[in-house]
Amino acid sequence: MRVPPYVLLSIAIVAEVIATSAMRASEGFSRLLPSAVVVLGYGVAFYCLSLTLRSIPVGIVYAVWSGAGIVLITLVALLLYRQVPDVPAIIGLGLIVSGVAVLNLFSKMQAH
């Protein structure tokens, strides 16, 4: 069964967000379980990310992956760590989301 590329990309994004969130809990990789979550999460993220590159251009994949990851990590930091983004941060996030939308909606890049 072939998994659609945007499903794989979504899995990659979620795995990366989980791994990045666990990095703080790993306390510099001194705690075993959170450290294992970091390594496993990034492993899953990069594997799924690599599979998306078979059918989606690398520029699009990376823009969506990094842009969505930044927004989701900001939400996780807000919810778990009470790190509230200020106005410039919110504007920056909006620009990132806008840039990813422009790439996806208007770019003519093709995978080879």
The whole-number pLDDT of residue 105 equals 82
Number of domains comprising the chain: 1
pLDDT block averages, 10 residues each, the chain of length 112: 93 97 94 97 97 91 92 94 95 93 79 53
With respect to residue 34, please indicate whether it lies within any of the assigned structural domains. Answer: yes
With respect to residue 28, please indicate whether it lies within any of the assigned structural domains. Answer: yes
Confidence (pTM): 0.87
CA–CA distance, 18 with 22 (Å, rounded to integer): 6
Question: Measuring CA to CA, how many Å separate 56 from each of 52, 80, 104, 106?
Answer: 6, 33, 11, 14
With respect to residue 111, please indicate whether it lies within any of the assigned structural domains. Answer: no
Query: What does R_g of the chain's alpha carbons equal in angstroms?
Result: 15
Write out the residue range of the structural domain in which residue 98 sits: 5-106
